[in-house]
């Protein structure tokens, strides 16, 4: 097997995963779903920081937040200096929990065919791949924007050190 073949298979897997997870977003764009999941974990972020995590320009993120606010999924809090904190509403948190449950369900389903030894090997390889991404990325938080940080709890994921701590009381 060549490096090119392995890379191509990895790309096909990434595409299939992305498509399967996007089905769980409902009517939300991938960026809006990422914003909801990020806010679910961090509780409050400003527009600039949220834009960085979800991979949007600040103006595009502002428009996305406007839609989330109009849909009663998020709200703007009183300004803290120049930052206007964005937080989820109860409805937004419930939607985030549903999206995360769907995401993890899709991913768990893929590993059902692996025995314990194979899962352990896959986990080892994923840690190596994620370490490579973390080492070469300007925005390592972006790779974990859809993750449930409570699952990893900082273990085996080099990206979790770059993410804000999960919101208090967020553990399930």
pLDDT digits (tens, 9 = 90+) for 102-130: 988 888 888 898 999 999 999 888 888 88
Better-scored residue on pLDDT, 55 or 21: 55
What pLDDT does residue 127 have? 82
- DSSP-assigned letter for residue 157: -
Average pLDDT on 7-34 reads 89
Which tokens go with 61?
């993120």
Instruction: Tell me the CATH number at 80.
Output: 1.10.10.10
In this structure, is residue 136 part of a structural domain?
yes
Phi, psi dihedrals of residue 112, rounded to the nearest 5°? -60, -30
Q: Which residue has the tokens 């449950």?
A: 101
Ramachandran region, residue 144 (left: φ > 0; alpha: ψ -120 to 50; beta: rest) = alpha
**Joined tokens for residue 170:** 């967020």
Q: What total number of domains does the chain contain?
A: 1
Q: Is the pLDDT of residue 152 over 50?
A: yes
Work out the angle between the directed axes of helices 30-42 and 90-111 (0-180°, nearest 10).
110
42 lies in a domain? yes
47, 84 contact by CB (below 8 A): yes
Q: Give the model's pLDDT for residue 161.
A: 47
CA dihedral sign of residues 158, 163, 169, 172 = negative
pLDDT at 164: 44
Pairing relation of β-strands 44-45 and 86-88?
antiparallel
More confident residue, 110 or 56: 56
The pLDDT score that the predictor gives to residue 142 is 74
Task: Look at residue 172 and tell me if it is in a domain.
Answer: no
Average pLDDT, the chain: 84
For residue 170, pLDDT beyond 50: no
pLDDT of 81 higher than 80: yes
> 56 is in which domain, residue-wise?
27-162
The tokens for 28 are 């939300």
Q: Flag whether 73 is in a domain.
A: yes
The pLDDT score that the predictor gives to residue 120 is 92
Q: Looking at residues 123-141, what average pLDDT do you find?
A: 77
32: in domain: yes
* Any domain includes 4: no
Q: Which residues contact 64 (CB under 8 A, 6 or more apart)?
A: 29, 31, 32, 35, 54, 56
> Residue 16: inside a domain, yes or no?
no
Q: Categorize the per-residue pLDDT at 156 as very low, low, confident or very high, splitting at 50, 70 and 90.
A: low
């Amino acid at each position: 097997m060549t490096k090119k073949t392995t890379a191509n298979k990895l790309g096909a897997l990434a595409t299939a995963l992305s498509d399967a997870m996007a089905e769980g977003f409902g009517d939300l764009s991938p960026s809006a779903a990422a914003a909801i999941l990020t806010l679910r974990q961090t509780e409050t972020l400003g527009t600039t920081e949220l834009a960085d995590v979800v991979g949007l320009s600040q103006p595009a993120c502002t428009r996305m937040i406007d839609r989330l606010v109009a849909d009663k999924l998020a709200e703007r809090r009183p300004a803290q200096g120049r930052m206007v904190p964005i937080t989820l509403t109860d409805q937004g948190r419930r939607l985030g929990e549903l999206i995360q449950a769907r995401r993890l369900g899709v991913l768990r389903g893929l590993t059902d065919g692996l025995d314990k030894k194979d899962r352990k090997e896959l986990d080892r390889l994923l840690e190596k791949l994620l370490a490579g991404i973390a080492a070469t990325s300007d925005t390592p938080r972006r790779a974990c924007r859809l993750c449930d940080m409570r699952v990893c709890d900082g273990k085996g994921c080099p990206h979790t050190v770059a993410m804000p701590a999960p919101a208090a009381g967020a553990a399930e």
